[in-house]
Structure 1
């Protein structure tokens, strides 16, 4: 029998669920993918069926481990953040589908809280205390706003509107879990109810300074802390996969991270100042801020990147726009292109968009109009417009939106020498070259689009002793990158004009949405 030397990792993303078999050199030996099926029972509501998701995950695991079950050493998990579910602690009965981070059913409740005199007083008091004491914690609290993307108000909505949840809460039988908590609970057959620090830090109800659930946030939102699971370090032992599940193996779960944090970990960005731009379902920029938090603006909050056993947490700063890769996928679903392999060639077949601009707003417009309602729109179409012009406009929109994300975050942080880029849309060299051109950054494209899977596997390897430290990982794992160098082909005036035109289209898109019924 061969030694156990392989790690299986599962990544539950916003668009796809993946499983991969990864060796100790960080190479992806096998990977399998299933699309995430979103359910929208009402406009603005987005859910995921837990039964279907579990079936898909089991299928993916069995697919990548076929004939190699006896070599599985450990198991790692990476997940989209802030998607949650609740269930009965005694019976395991789900009380509803997963409520996706994209769901906006609690939007009015968020607005009511943000506009309340209580919140204004809270922010003012936090600002005074933060300014007097120099407390990062208080300064962050002074810019706090309730948002649908974070969990508290959507969870509050469930507790108010779901009668079963309300009853179980009173009887102290209600379990809450984000995707990683649920998956661990399923894999261990209910023996482990826990989460991990990076995932907890994104919920909006976790105190990253005390490393515990926030009693202040729990009070503000009226949510008892006892419904939240235990929080453990990223490379902890989260329990053993139960043999009776029929997966063909049993292994410890020794690594868990949020998807963006896992992507940073998988790209070996372990040092302060390291920067990653993910072009996936969301366009997200993350900066490693080391063991320190750096409060900046109400759009950028510090998050925990990872916390290893016996060590202080590493923090990250994050800024994102939630309409990234969905725009590129739209070119296929709308019938503009047959598959994504031909999208770059179509865009390059014309020298410009001939005045066509595309505004991706599939879930509202987050930047440059923060949290504004908007509609996905095409502008400038004439009788001369061809498919190539529209495709080019879609790809250019990704470069403009990415550049805006970078502009926002680097108002507050030192610009790096280069930025590592990953995610599905990074396969498009047209987008990367355009982005480098207008942002004036050198880019370093990861040749693996499975950074989150690799990150989950590497942290799981740390947890089981496959690696001894972060430096040991860097010495043993080799990644391939493609350099995209900034080359100033366009004059500064041309670059400014092209971006201004796109911003004007965004403004129209947002303004139009305010008069829609």
Structure 2
């Protein structure tokens, strides 16, 4: 058996990527699915859309390559994190649409729980915010008729997307998750490595609903989706999978993924860091029962701001149009776009903030909007790195490893390097999220090498060095900070 199949279930699409024995991509299949916005700040997915697109892309990628499913040694899964599903134990039917990680409907409940935040952060590493799964799960139990009673009777199951997909793939034989996804629910004690009874009681969540937690490389069941039984041997949330795919195995290594959102993770080794600057302590990966921790900064809108230019404003036809349009922007204009479309994430954590544009003149047009949109990603990343430095001290000669769709833009990566004042390394393999999931499964199956050899295989495609003058960098960033302050609903 010489191939590994990676399932990458994301926020806007599902993908299946087939890797060969040398960790090279053989083929990819992708399907987008509908986003649902039933109310302001609400974001939902149809559970059936998640499952259907995963199943169809898996079958498609195998059919198009002609690879015999018997030659697939294992499946690895990576997924959008925090997105919350509840389904019937017997029928497998979801009782409500999946509530997406971006969804802010539980903001009022979170505000009311602020007195409990210190305890919650101490146990989970997370902040009291609608982003995480726990309050979304509570909302479903509160608002779907009969759901809490059915849950208490053991008839309903909870899971993040990985758990739901594994349940469907195994025909309901496995209700499991991995430590990285569990760590994003706000129900999991990352120090003790188990679901926390006190927190579940606080949220009134029956613990019988929760999946069994396993390592990132472990036995998660088998599936006959492609005919023969194939084991599922690797699972990690998308940002943790990207951390693995970027081979950030050493303490102090840093990566940032630019997809729908932007997520920067700093490996902190075997010791979790309690942030005093509103970052998150989390699990980077867990192997052989031993967690490796990370400090994470989460930005809700990165690549999604380009989608907004395309779908909301209609000023570009496709994402690749953004860079040449930004090049035409008037250099004398300084627009700041704060893309708080679903609130602001780290380090501000203001779920009620909404997007704003500052610096408009009569001469501002599509080119200036495009430049401001791309620059907003760099500015937000600097916010995260400044907070990380404040938490852990001097990071030394910081080198940021980048991946995700937006990292393919030379313009964006050069501005990122400029505004950070640090090198930005883009690898030859940009599909690091899928690569991480594939390596976890393939390593467990004995197809791929261990950590040390895998790390040596990481290859640089291009390094971006800062070219901006320090004074200009600081002036621009000060303007950004002022724009964010004007956007926040919570001051101080």
Residues 356 and 300 (structure 1), Cα distance of their counterparts in 2 relative to 1, 3 Å cut? closer
Cα deviations by residue, 1:163-213 (Å, 9 ceiling, x for unpaired): 231221232222111100110110110011111111111111111111111
Q: Which residue of 2 aligns with 1:51?
A: 48
> Following the alignment from structure 1 to structure 2, what is the Cα–Cα distance between the partners of residues 143 and 29?
38
1:13 aligns with 2:10: yes
Counterparts of residues 453-472 of structure 1 (less than 5 Å)? 453-472=434-453
* Contact 1:150/1:204, CA 8 A, preserved across alignment: yes
Q: Which residue of 2 aligns with 1:185?
A: 167
Q: 1:322 aligns with which of 290, 300, 304?
A: 300
Q: 1:442 aligns with which of 423, 429, 433?
A: 423
Q: Which residue of 1 aligns with 2:375?
A: 396
Q: Which residue of 2 aligns with 1:105?
A: 105
Select the structure of larger CA radius of gyration: 1
* Contact 1:8/1:76, CA 8 A, preserved across alignment: yes
Cα deviations by residue, 1:222-255 (Å, 9 ceiling, x for unpaired): 222221111111111111112xx4x344311000
Q: Which residue of 2 aligns with 1:38?
A: 35
Q: Which residue of 2 aligns with 1:267?
A: 246
Cα deviations by residue, 1:49-81 (Å, 9 ceiling, x for unpaired): 011221111111112111213321110000111
Q: Which residue of 1 aligns with 2:177?
A: 195
CA positional deviation for 1:160? 1.8
Counterparts of residues 58-457 of structure 1 (less than 5 Å)? 58-66=55-63, 67-68=66-67, 69-115=69-115, 119=116, 123=118, 140-141=122-123, 145-242=127-224, 245=225, 247-297=226-276, 299-309=278-288, 311-333=289-311, 334-350=313-329, 352=331, 354-367=333-346, 369-413=348-392, 414-417=394-397, 418-457=399-438
> Following the alignment from structure 2 to structure 1, what is the Cα–Cα distance between the partners of residues 421 and 237?
29
> Following the alignment from structure 2 to structure 1, what is the Cα–Cα distance between the partners of residues 22 and 460?
12
> Following the alignment from structure 1 to structure 2, what is the Cα–Cα distance between the partners of residues 407 and 156?
34
> Following the alignment from structure 1 to structure 2, what is the Cα–Cα distance between the partners of residues 279 and 257?
17
CA positional deviation for 1:445? 1.2
* Contact 1:287/1:316, CA 8 A, preserved across alignment: yes
* Contact 1:353/1:392, CA 8 A, preserved across alignment: no
Local SS of the residue matching 1:91: coil
Local SS of the residue matching 1:257: strand
CA positional deviation for 1:353? 5.9
Local SS of the residue matching 1:410: helix
Structure 1 unmatched ranges of 5 or more: 127-137
Local SS of the residue matching 1:252: strand
CA positional deviation for 1:142? 10
User: Which shows bigger deviation, 87-96 or 259-268?
Assistant: 87-96
Q: Which residue of 2 aligns with 1:131?
A: none
Q: 2:463 aligns with which of 464, 483, 489?
A: 483
* Contact 1:263/1:451, CA 8 A, preserved across alignment: yes
Local SS of the residue matching 1:199: helix
> Following the alignment from structure 1 to structure 2, what is the Cα–Cα distance between the partners of residues 26 and 442?
26
* Contact 2:81/2:101, CA 8 A, preserved across alignment: yes
TM-score, with length taken from structure 2: 0.93
* Contact 1:306/1:313, CA 8 A, preserved across alignment: yes
* Contact 1:420/1:445, CA 8 A, preserved across alignment: yes
1:474 aligns with 2:476: no
Structure 2 unmatched ranges of 5 or more: none
Residues 403 and 478 (structure 1), Cα distance of their counterparts in 2 relative to 1, 3 Å cut? closer
Residues 345 and 12 (structure 1), Cα distance of their counterparts in 2 relative to 1, 3 Å cut? same
> Following the alignment from structure 1 to structure 2, what is the Cα–Cα distance between the partners of residues 493 and 90?
63
Q: Which residue of 2 aligns with 1:130?
A: none
> Following the alignment from structure 1 to structure 2, what is the Cα–Cα distance between the partners of residues 412 and 470?
28
Local SS of the residue matching 2:221: coil
Q: How many pairs were matched up?
A: 485
CA positional deviation for 1:342? 2.9
> Following the alignment from structure 2 to structure 1, what is the Cα–Cα distance between the partners of residues 310 and 16?
24
